[in-house]
């Protein structure tokens, strides 16, 4: 697996894969009337349930807070369904309320109190920052507003300066500015699901403050090394020291609600090799049949619990369809009941299917 | 084909007729044990009326080889028929003069004729036999016989009339035949039916079947065949006809059965009524051969089955041919037939067949994919998948698996809890010098089912990782179970004794009881051996308190004070004694010092 990653990194560096035309996310979905109708309907429901009049995206499964991640997801989805008005509302709220640090990164957590929003933790969450930058880039691609691109570049520059660290594998993404490195800055706790591959690929075309493509390739390598016997599911968190990688000690030794996004991000990638890795998930525990996915203990391989929610089941179904063309189950297209996180993954899954594997949805389209 | 409905011979009739005369009636003597009757026969219909007229003459013994359609032999009775009705009429009326004149008249017509002795009997008694028929119909034979004896006493000169007598005799004979046939006393079966020839008629199908079997078993094969043939020529019940061929097929040689099959009638569908049964016979033959590769199969049988599979599109026959060719290691033909079967009907067995045929043919990749896709349909397919993977990995242990195949295999191993699959993966990673992965899989394998390959793997991994303590522990734990571990143990001991001098462990006891061995080991200071033996004893689930405490001390003395403490604490909680308290105290002390 290590060899494979190295080969890919060589291929990427050598430019074997030409850059795909920079389509805006959701372009294929927009072109497919049925999918487009579903997405707009799902988005209306999503906006009604999770987006406030001010533009805060609420995580109802998490004491109703907002975070940079939910704001970022909201921005990307708004572009994907071509909802410029709502995109701008979410964007403006994000900048006003969360961009309160001395840099251009975002405080990761906002509580909603009677007296208004309250930033509860000014530490950043790198995936949130990356999602916001991605949303801005997509908005720029879609509507051509330069300010979106320049805002994105400011965020990316700070990610590159503060959160990209060199390791034995190459440059990695630190999950946050504070609390994830130790041992004189040589040991890191990383989160493989913070590598938002489609975001890295998209921003790489508009920003050179870091080698985003290389970071993506290193992310794959981190992922490969984290997938171990007996389950071969990646843990949510890993410890990296030199070229040594292990499930993180400070966190539960689980494949869980973080790592479930990995196959989804891989599927949203425009890189064929990353798409293939999605199919590889289809054979793993909890992915190989309806009923999953599960939170799995990565050391014992035992199932801890079922991830309840259409969004999680949708990710698993996506991997199966990409592996064996198993049609995407129509019941996973129902909206309106799942909480924020599951609903978000559900819409992104349909986006991924519309972009990459429309035949999985053909029964509906 | 024109077959005579009356296959009968003079020899047969004479044999049957004379035998029938020699019998004594069952009511002649009072049976010694009335309760000894094994079962009661139920009789068909109401006994008040005689049985329906038979269309065909009964099957007669000795009739083998006389099936000649155009050559019907109707044989004259042994004695001339004399019309005695007038005579009996006069006798009944007591007109002696007329009786005398009639006797003279009849004698002049039939010089050999003698007047029956009983012509005046009916004049004396008019016996109503209905109660006897009722008892007969109810199958109460002992009561019936008692009643007959009572009638004989009551009405001098009385004897059961012909039809009742015949039916009683047949019922008795039927019982005898059944009894003899059930215990395999075939000569008695033949003897009994010879005395009761009217038993061998279409209405008594079971009797003919049993007779045929008895004939065959007593070396009269040709007559056995004739009995079956009689049924096919004379009896019309379709189910019984099919059953006849089935029964014949159980005992007669194939050629004879095939000849019988030619007596089948052709139905409106143009198929012989015996087509299915013949196919079943062929299926049986091929099925047997598929299970036993030493058995030879007629070429014609394979052709018959091939026709059925191809022309009749019979998926079962296609599958059967698959199994047959599989047993002959003709994997390509086998896979072809299984595929043909699968096209006609979804079948888990056919999928399994394809998988193992592909495996046999060395088409591992195809077998692997098919088996994986269908693994949830049948545990045998999952097993086949694990085997195909294992074969391929073992074939080239250090060839890297691509991630997809690895993850499929890993997930399936967990699902099947396959100790073998897990140890194969363990060795794969061992060969790749990935000892962490190897250890995980060896551990899994041991968890599913302790096995030699996995424990040896664990020992070698421990050695690689320089975990001497773990290595020794594994050897101690498992050397009693697996020869290979015991061999490692000997190597280790030999190298240990060569480097350090040791006191002898005392004379070795080869007691049958592992507990005694454990005690011996303990007493001679071989604590680890004692632990291994005692742990195995504990695993059996019937550990006494004494051996539990001994295990505690053995663990304590082998430096495993934490585990020792656990045992003593548990025993102490159950019943605190001086020993449990001591054990707790010592192990606790050692534990904290050790840690």
Task: State the Cα–Cα distance between residues B175 and B46, nearest whole angstrom.
Answer: 19
Q: What is the mean pLDDT of residues B72-87?
A: 58
- CB-based contact, B225 to chain A, within 8 Å: no
Dihedral over Cα of A324, A330, A331, A336: its sign: positive
How high is the pLDDT of residue A221?
92
Q: Count Cβ atoms within 10 A of the Cβ of residue B375 and give its class: 0-12 exposed, 13-18 middle, 19 or more buried.
A: buried
B408 chain-A contacts, CB cut-off 8 A: 283
Tell me the pLDDT tens digit for each residue of B456-477.
Answer: 899 989 988 889 999 999 999 9
What string of DSSP letters covers A243-311?
TEEEE-SSS-SEE-TTTTHHHHHHHH-S-HHHHHHHHHHTTSTTTSSBTB-EEEETTT--EEEE--SHH
In the predicted model, is pLDDT for residue B500 greater than 50? Answer: no
pLDDT confidence band for B562 (50 / 70 / 90): confident
Q: What is the mean pLDDT of residues B219-247?
A: 89
Higher-confidence residue: B293 or B372?
B372
Distances (CA, A) of B205 to B37, B198, B234, B256, B276: 23, 12, 11, 20, 21
Tell me the pLDDT tens digit for each residue of A192-212.
Answer: 999 999 999 999 999 999 999
Active site residue A31: no
Residue ranges of the alpha helices (H) in B183-274?
186-195, 205-217, 221-234, 238-251, 254-261
Q: Quote the minimal CA–CA distance from A231 to chain B in Å.
A: 7
Interface test with chain B among A4, A230, A233, by most B beta carbons within 10 Å: A230
- CB-based contact, B433 to chain A, within 8 Å: no
How high is the pLDDT of residue B39?
22
Q: What is the mean pLDDT of residues B69-87?
A: 55
Q: Which of A35-49, A99-113, B36-50 has the highest mean pLDDT?
A: A99-113
The answer to whether A255 touches A191, Cβ cutoff 8 Å, is no
How is residue B363 annotated by DSSP? Answer: -
In the predicted model, is pLDDT for residue A45 greater than 50? Answer: yes
Nearest neighbour of B414 by CB, restricted to A230, A280, A289: A230
Q: What are phi and psi of B266, to 5 degrees?
A: -90, 130
Q: Count Cβ atoms within 10 A of the Cβ of residue A149 and give its class: 0-12 exposed, 13-18 middle, 19 or more buried.
A: middle
Q: Which helix (H) or strand (E) holds A139?
A: helix A126-143
The answer to whether B390 touches B425, Cβ cutoff 8 Å, is no
The answer to whether B232 touches B241, Cβ cutoff 8 Å, is yes
- CB-based contact, A294 to chain B, within 8 Å: no
For A78, the token pair is 């708004």
Interface test with chain B among A244, A273, A279, A283, by most B beta carbons within 10 Å: A283
Would you put residue A223 in left (φ > 0), alpha (ψ -120 to 50) or beta?
alpha
The answer to whether the Cβ–Cβ distance between B403 and A232 falls below 8 Å is yes
In the predicted model, is pLDDT for residue B512 greater than 60? Answer: no
pLDDT confidence band for A105 (50 / 70 / 90): very high
Residue ranges of the alpha helices (H) in B465-577?
468-478, 483-499, 514-523, 527-539, 545-557, 561-574
Q: What is the dihedral of CA A263, A264, A270, A276, to 10 degrees?
A: 30
How high is the pLDDT of residue B121?
58
Task: State the Cα–Cα distance between residues B334 and B361, nearest whole angstrom.
Answer: 10
Q: Could you tell me the strand order of the sheet in which A303-306 lies? A: A254-255, A294-297, A303-306
Give CA angle at A174 (A171, A179), nearest 5°: 145
Task: State the Cα–Cα distance between residues A148 and A138, nearest whole angstrom.
Answer: 9
Q: From the candidates A59, A82, A127, A224, which is the catalytic residue?
A: A127
Taking residue B343's Cβ as centre, other Cβ atoms within 10 Å add up to: 12
Residues 439 through 468 of chain B touching chain A, CB cutoff 8 Å: 440-441, 444
What string of DSSP letters covers A83-125?
-HHHHHHHHHHIIIII--SSSSS--SEEEEETTEEEEEE----
pLDDT confidence band for B540 (50 / 70 / 90): low
How high is the pLDDT of residue B48?
37
How high is the pLDDT of residue A95?
97
The answer to whether the Cβ–Cβ distance between B411 and A280 falls below 8 Å is no
For A86, the token pair is 């709502």
Q: Quote the minimal CA–CA distance from B493 to chain A in Å.
A: 34
Q: From the candidates A31, A45, A54, A69, which is the catalytic residue?
A: A69
- CB-based contact, A6 to chain B, within 8 Å: no
Structural fold of domain B418-499: 1.25.40
Q: What is the mean pLDDT of residues B34-53?
A: 32
In the predicted model, is pLDDT for residue B557 greater than 90? Answer: no
In the predicted model, is pLDDT for residue B70 greater than 50? Answer: no
For chain B, what percent of residues have pLDDT higher than 70? 80
How high is the pLDDT of residue B406?
93
Name the residue with tokens 């060896």: B442
How high is the pLDDT of residue B62?
66
B419 chain-A contacts, CB cut-off 8 A: none
B436 chain-A contacts, CB cut-off 8 A: 228
Q: What is the mean pLDDT of residues B442-452?
A: 94
B403 chain-A contacts, CB cut-off 8 A: 1, 4, 224, 227, 232, 277, 280
How high is the pLDDT of residue B494?
67
At a CB cut-off of 8 Å and minimum separation 6, what does B525 contact? Answer: B503, B505
Asked if omega into A226 is within 30° of 0 (cis), the reply is no
Give CA angle at B489 (B486, B491), nearest 5°: 115
B399 chain-A contacts, CB cut-off 8 A: none
Taking residue A84's Cβ as centre, other Cβ atoms within 10 Å add up to: 13
What ipTM is given for this predicted complex?
Answer: 0.70
Task: State the Cα–Cα distance between residues A29 and A83, nearest whole angstrom.
Answer: 14
Q: What is the mean pLDDT of residues A176-191?
A: 91
Contacts 24+ apart (CB under 8 A), A269-276: A269/A197, A269/A198, A269/A201, A270/A20, A270/A198, A270/A201, A271/A12, A271/A17, A271/A197, A271/A201, A271/A216, A272/A17, A273/A8, A274/A197, A274/A220, A275/A322, A275/A356
Q: What is the mean pLDDT of residues A310-336?
A: 91
- CB-based contact, A296 to chain B, within 8 Å: no
Domain borders along chain B are 10-30+42-82+119-240, 85-116, 418-499, 525-595
For A46, the token pair is 């999503």
Q: Quote the minimal CA–CA distance from A246 to chain B in Å.
A: 11
How high is the pLDDT of residue B593?
54
The answer to whether the Cβ–Cβ distance between A228 and B440 falls below 8 Å is yes
In the predicted model, is pLDDT for residue B499 greater than 90? Answer: no
Q: Count Cβ atoms within 10 A of the Cβ of residue B290 and give its class: 0-12 exposed, 13-18 middle, 19 or more buried.
A: buried
Tell me the pLDDT tens digit for each residue of B289-346.
Answer: 888 888 888 888 889 889 888 888 889 899 999 999 999 999 999 999 999 998 988 8
The answer to whether the Cβ–Cβ distance between A288 and B411 falls below 8 Å is yes
How high is the pLDDT of residue B139?
83
In the predicted model, is pLDDT for residue B141 greater than 70? Answer: yes
pLDDT confidence band for B484 (50 / 70 / 90): confident
Q: What is the mean pLDDT of residues B30-48?
A: 33
Crossing angle of helices B379-395 and B419-431, in 10° steps, is 20
Q: What is the mean pLDDT of residues B382-405?
A: 89
How high is the pLDDT of residue B96?
66
The answer to whether B231 touches B246, Cβ cutoff 8 Å, is no
At a CB cut-off of 8 Å and minimum separation 6, what does B171 contact? Answer: B41, B43, B136, B141
**B404: closest chain A residue by CA:** A280
Dihedral over Cα of A33, A39, A42, A44: its sign: negative
Active site residue A85: no
How high is the pLDDT of residue A306?
94
The answer to whether B444 touches B415, Cβ cutoff 8 Å, is no
């Amino acid at each position: 697996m290590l060899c494979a990653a190295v080969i890919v990194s060589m291929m990427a560096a050598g430019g074997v894969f030409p850059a795909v035309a920079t389509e805006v996310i959701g372009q294929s979905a927009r072109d497919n009337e049925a999918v487009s109708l579903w997405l707009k309907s799902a988005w209306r429901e999503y906006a009604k349930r999770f987006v406030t009049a001010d533009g805060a995206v609420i995580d109802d499964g998490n004491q109703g807070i907002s975070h940079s991640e939910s704001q970022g997801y909201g921005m990307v989805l708004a572009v994907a369904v071509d909802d410029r008005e709502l995109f701008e509302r979410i964007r403006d709220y994000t900048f006003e309320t969360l961009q309160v640090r001395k840099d251009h990164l975002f405080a990761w957590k906002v509580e909603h109190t009677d007296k208004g929003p309250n930033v509860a933790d000014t530490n950043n969450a790198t995936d949130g920052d990356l999602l916001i930058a991605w949303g801005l880039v997509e908005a720029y691609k879609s509507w051509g507003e330069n300010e979106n691109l320049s805002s994105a570049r400011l965020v990316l520059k700070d990610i590159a300066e503060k959160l990209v660290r060199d390791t034995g594998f190459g440059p990695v993404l630190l999950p946050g500015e504070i609390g994830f490195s130790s041992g004189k800055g040589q040991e890191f706790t990383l989160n493989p699901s913070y590598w938002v591959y489609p975001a890295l690929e998209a921003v790489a075309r508009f920003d050179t403050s870091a080698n985003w493509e290389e970071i993506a390739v290193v992310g794959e390598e981190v992922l490969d090394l984290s997938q171990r016997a007996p389950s071969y599911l990646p843990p949510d968190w890993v410890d990296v020291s030199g070229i040594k990688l292990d499930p993180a000690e400070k966190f539960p030794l689980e494949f869980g609600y973080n790592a479930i996004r990995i196959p989804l991000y891989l599927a949203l990638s425009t890189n064929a090799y990353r798409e293939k890795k999605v199919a590889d998930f289809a054979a793993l525990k909890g992915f190989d049949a309806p009923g999953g996915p599960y939170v799995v203990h990565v050391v014992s391989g035992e199932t801890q619990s079922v991830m309840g929610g259409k969004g999680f089941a949708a990710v698993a179904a996506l991997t199966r369809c990409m592996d064996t063309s198993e049609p995407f189950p129509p019941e996973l297209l129902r909206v309106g009941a799942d909480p924020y996180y599951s609903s978000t993954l559900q819409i992104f899954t349909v986006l991924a299917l519309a972009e990459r594997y429309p035949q999985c949805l053909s029964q509906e389209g | 084909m024109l077959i005579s409905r009356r296959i009968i011979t003079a020899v047969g009739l004479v044999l049957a007729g004379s035998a029938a005369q020699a019998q004594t009636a069952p009511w002649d003597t009072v049976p010694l044990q009335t309760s000894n009757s094994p079962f009661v026969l139920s009789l068909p219909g109401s006994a008040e009326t005689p049985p329906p007229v038979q269309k065909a003459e009964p099957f007669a013994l000795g009739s083998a080889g006389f099936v000649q359609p155009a050559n019907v032999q109707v044989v004259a009775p042994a004695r001339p028929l004399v019309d005695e009705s007038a005579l009996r009429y006069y006798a009944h009326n007591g007109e002696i003069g007329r009786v005398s004149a009639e006797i003279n008249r009849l004698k002049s017509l039939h010089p050999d004729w003698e007047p029956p002795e009983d012509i005046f009997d009916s004049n004396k008694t008019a016996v109503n036999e209905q109660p006897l028929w009722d008892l007969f119909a109810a199958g109460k034979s002992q009561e019936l016989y008692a009643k007959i004896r009572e009638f004989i006493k009551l009405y001098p000169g009385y004897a059961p009339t012909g039809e009742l007598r015949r039916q009683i005799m047949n019922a008795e004979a039927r019982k005898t035949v059944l009894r003899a046939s059930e215990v395999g006393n075939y000569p008695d079966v033949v003897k009994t039916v010879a005395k009761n020839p009217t038993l061998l008629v279409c209405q008594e199908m079971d009797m003919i079947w049993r007779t045929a079997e008895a004939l065959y078993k007593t070396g009269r094969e040709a007559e056995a065949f004739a009995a079956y043939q009689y049924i096919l020529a004379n009896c019309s019940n379709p189910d019984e006809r099919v059953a006849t061929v089935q029964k014949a097929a159980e005992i007669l040689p194939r050629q004879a059965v095939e000849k019988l099959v030619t007596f089948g009638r052709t139905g409106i569908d143009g198929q012989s009524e015996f087509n299915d049964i013949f196919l079943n016979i062929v299926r049986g033959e091929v099925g047997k051969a598929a299970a036993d590769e030493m058995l030879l199969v007629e070429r014609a049988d394979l052709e018959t089955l091939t026709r059925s599979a191809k022309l009749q599109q019979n998926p079962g026959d296609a599958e059967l041919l698959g199994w047959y060719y599989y047993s002959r290691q003709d994997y390509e033909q086998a896979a072809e037939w299984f595929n043909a079967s699968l096209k006609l009907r979804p079948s888990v067995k056919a999928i399994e067949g394809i998988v193992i045929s592909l495996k046999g043919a060395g088409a591992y990749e195809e077998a692997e994919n098919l088996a994986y896709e269908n693994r949830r349909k049948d545990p045998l397919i999952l097993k086949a998948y694990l085997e195909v993977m294992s074969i391929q990995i073992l074939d080239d242990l250090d060839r890297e698996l691509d991630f997809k195949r690895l993850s499929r295999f890993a997930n399936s191993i967990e699902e099947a809890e396959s100790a073998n699959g897990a140890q194969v993966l363990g060795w794969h990673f061992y060969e790749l010098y990935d000892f962490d992965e190897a250890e995980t899989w060896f551990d899994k394998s041991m968890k599913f089912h302790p096995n030699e390959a996995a424990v040896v793997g664990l020992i070698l991994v421990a050695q690689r990782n320089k975990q001497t303590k773990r290595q020794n522990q594994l050897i101690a734990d498992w050397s009693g179970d697996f020869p290979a571990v015991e061999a490692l143990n000997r190597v280790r001991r030999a190298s240990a004794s060569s480097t350090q001098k040791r006191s002898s462990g005392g004379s070795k006891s080869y007691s049958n009881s592992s507990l005694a061995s454990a005690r011996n080991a303990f007493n001679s200071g071989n604590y680890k051996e004692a632990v291994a033996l005692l742990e195995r004893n504990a695993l059996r689930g019937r550990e006494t308190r004494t051996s539990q405490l001994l295990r505690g001390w053995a663990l304590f003395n082998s430096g495993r004070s934490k585990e020792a403490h656990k045992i003593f604490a548990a025993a102490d909680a159950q019943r605190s004694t001086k020993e449990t308290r001591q054990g707790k105290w010592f192990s606790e002390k050692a534990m904290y010092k050790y840690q």
